[in-house]
């Protein structure tokens, strides 16, 4: 197995985490090595664990000792975790902040051509007087509640059906 020559940092990458492990359990695993500043397990957009995360310590000695002791640590009967040095959090660096601000500006420019409000409605059937404006939802808003309900309902029904037919 080849070894990557990464500079030691206070931020550690943790891979091969079992999907059922919570951030609290991972914190219990890393807490004996020093003060943990931040800990994050990455999730999919549906909330399922991706099996990887990042742990950041307050000093370098704690991170080095945690990496040495916990790399290839057997966390389950058949699972070991991988611990390696990670790059600093890109959002916390000046370069990362500048890149984020540039992306926000590009996004605003891309959507500037769309009108902020919809045109007003014409007269309704039977009345020729009032014309009320349409209420437009924001471009980057929440999903419609009916869409959200239908998606969550069907996923629940599908999982129930899968559990019933799994043994057959």
pLDDT tens digits, one per residue of 35-54: 999 999 999 999 899 999 99
Largest CA distance in the chain: 79
3-class SS of residue 49: strand
Write out pLDDT tens, residues 84-109. Answer: 998 877 777 788 888 888 988 888 88
What phi and psi values does residue 116 have, to the nearest 5 degrees?
Answer: -75, -30
Taking 60 as the threshold, does the pLDDT of residue 130 lie above it?
no
The pLDDT mean for the chain works out to 78
Is 128 within 8 Å of 118 (Cβ atoms)? no
The pTM score is 0.56
Q: Which residue has the tokens 């359990």?
A: 25
Beta strands (DSSP E) in the chain are: 11-15, 36-43, 49-57, 73-74, 80-85
Is 23 within 8 Å of 41 (Cβ atoms)? yes
- Domains for the chain: give ranges and CATH numbers: 11-91 (3.30.70.330)
Packing angle of the helix pair 60-70, 23-30 (nearest 10 deg): 100
Q: Which of 104-108, 140-144, 159-163 has the weakest average pLDDT?
A: 140-144
């Amino acid at each position: 197995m080849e070894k990557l020559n990464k500079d030691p940092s206070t931020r550690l990458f943790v891979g091969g985490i079992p999907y059922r492990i919570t951030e609290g359990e991972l914190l219990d695993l890393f807490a004996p090595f020093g003060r943990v500043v931040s800990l994050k397990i990455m999730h999919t957009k549906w909330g399922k664990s991706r099996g990887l995360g990042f742990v950041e310590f307050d000093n370098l000695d704690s991170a080095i000792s945690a990496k040495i002791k916990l790399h290839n640590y057997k966390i389950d009967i058949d699972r070991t975790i991988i611990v390696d040095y990670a790059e600093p959090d890109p959002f916390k660096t000046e370069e990362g902040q500048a890149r984020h601000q540039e992306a926000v500006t590009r996004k605003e420019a891309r959507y500037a051509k769309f009108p902020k409000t919809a045109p007003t409605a014409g007269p309704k059937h039977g009345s020729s007087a009032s014309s009320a404006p349409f209420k437009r939802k924001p471009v980057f808003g929440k999903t419609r509640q009916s869409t959200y309900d239908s998606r969550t309902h069907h996923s629940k029904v599908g999982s129930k059906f899968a559990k019933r037919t799994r043994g057959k």
